[in-house]
Copies of this chain bind each other. A is one copy, B any other.
Amino acid sequence: MREAEIYKALGDPIRLEIVHRLSASSVSTVGELSKNLGISRQGARKQIQVLVDANVVHLEQQGRQTKVTLDTNTLQLARAFIVKLERKWDERLEALKEYVESNDSR
């Protein structure tokens, strides 16, 4: 399941913060994204790499800087899996409820 790797990549406060900034602010270079995270630039770079490896973001060289972009396909995959879990679970509850009602002694 590729989804596991995606969730794992999102499953860290710093990495989630990076992804959040990417989506919500206009910051988009490796250098800028690495600021104010409470860790060193090199440390931040390693976290960005985890996101790259899970295809949550992509990198693109631009002169001396590196642009970071979100991969919405990956986000969609992550969302779809959760939606499926929710739907299947609801179906089961529904089936169970009907079963209980059909055997209800009232």
| Choice from B12, B20, B83, B85 contacting A85 with Cβ under 8 Å | B20
In the assembled complex, 15 residue pairs joining A and B whose CB atoms fall closer than 8 Å, in A order, are A1-B17, A3-B10, A7-B8, A7-B10, A8-B12, A9-B11, A11-B11, A23-B86, A23-B89, A70-B89, A72-B86, A75-B85, A75-B86, A76-B86, A79-B86
- A24 contacts the other chain (CB 8 A): yes
- A88 contacts the other chain (CB 8 A): yes
Of residues 61 through 93 on chain A, the ones whose CB sits less than 8 Å from some CB of chain B are: 70, 72, 75-76, 78-79, 82-86, 88-90, 92
A75 touching B82, Cβ below 8 Å: yes
Q: What residues of chain A have their CB less than 8 Å away from a CB belonging to chain B?
A: 1, 3-13, 15-17, 19-20, 22-24, 26, 70, 72, 75-76, 78-79, 82-86, 88-90, 92
